């Protein structure tokens, strides 16, 4: 299915959808990584 037909998914839809889940996940992973680095101190 093409991305830009009427009523379909736009690039903006895709970016927003992935940001919605990607941002909190990335923040959580970074926080865990910072804590995990204590293993090497």
- Contacts with another protein, residue ranges (CB under 8 A): 1-9, 13-14, 17-18, 20-21, 24-25, 27-29, 31-33, 35-41
Least distance to another protein from the beta carbon of 9, Å?
4
Dist. CA 19–CA 25, nearest whole Å: 9
In angstroms, give the least distance from the CB of 29 to another protein: 6
Q: What are phi and psi of 19, to 5 degrees?
A: -65, -40
> CA 8 to CA 14: how far, in whole Å?
11
Give the shortest CB-12-to-another protein separation in angstroms: 12
């Amino acid at each position: 299915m093409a991305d830009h037909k009427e009523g379909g998914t736009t690039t903006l839809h895709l970016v927003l959808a992935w940001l919605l889940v990607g941002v909190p996940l990335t923040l959580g992973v970074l926080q865990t990584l910072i804590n995990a680095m204590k293993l090497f101190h």
